[in-house]
């Protein structure tokens, strides 16, 4: 599955058939990439792990008319995403071609929807925490994660890390990083 297919599947699987904001889309894609081993490159960014490949896929999908991008009236810096009719057709094709991949996306999106809804900030903290745990490759306490986050320019309170650990458990991402 490439980044474009991933973005389309995330939007199709999301509550109400739309994703509220680029950050929520990026972090959802990040977790699916980590769980499914898709090989999409991510690097630390302001709101946590960020992929240029995912950002370019979103721009391309909007440009070719498969994804609708709308600016939120109440938050002018937020863009929401939904599928166009043509995008829905492509998703049907992807589902027929690779039902196993779709199940993985559905599981992660469902877990994220039930845990954080559209709260991109909480999901961002979970993504930052997982990125740190994955880079450090050692058991870490919330205070440890918070201290490493500070060195990366990320401010995360240890209490927020505790909540992030629960999200990571729900996503089955704690097997190497007991919290």
Q: Find where tokens 């918070």 sit.
A: 146
Backbone angles phi, psi at 43, to 5 degrees: -140, 155
The answer regarding whether domain 3-98+106-170 maps to CATH 1.10.10 reads yes
Cα 148 from Cα 159, distance rounded (Å): 15
Q: Give pLDDT, residue 175.
A: 52
Taking 70 as the pLDDT cut, the residues of the chain under it are 73-76, 175-179
pLDDT at res. 70: 85
pLDDT at 177: 41
Using an 8 Å Cβ cutoff, are 10 and 32 in contact?
A: yes
């Amino acid at each position: 599955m490439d980044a474009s297919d991933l973005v389309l599947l995330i939007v199709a699987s999301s509550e109400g058939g739309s994703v509220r904001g680029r950050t929520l889309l990026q972090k959802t894609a990040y977790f699916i990439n980590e769980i499914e081993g898709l090989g999409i490159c991510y690097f630390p960014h302001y709101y946590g792990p960020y992929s240029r490949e995912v950002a370019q896929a979103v721009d391309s999908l909007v440009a070719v008319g498969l994804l609708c991008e709308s600016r939120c009236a109440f938050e002018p810096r937020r863009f929401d995403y939904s599928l166009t009719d043509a995008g829905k057709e492509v998703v049907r094709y992807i589902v027929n071609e690779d039902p196993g991949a779709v199940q993985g996306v559905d599981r992660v999106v469902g877990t994220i929807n039930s845990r954080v809804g559209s709260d991109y900030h909480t999901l961002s903290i979970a993504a930052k925490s997982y990125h740190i745990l994955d880079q450090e490759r050692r058991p870490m306490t919330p205070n440890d994660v918070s201290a490493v986050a500070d060195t990366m320019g990320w401010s995360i309170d240890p209490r927020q890390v505790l909540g992030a650990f629960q999200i990571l458990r729900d996503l089955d991402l704690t097997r190497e990083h007991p919290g």
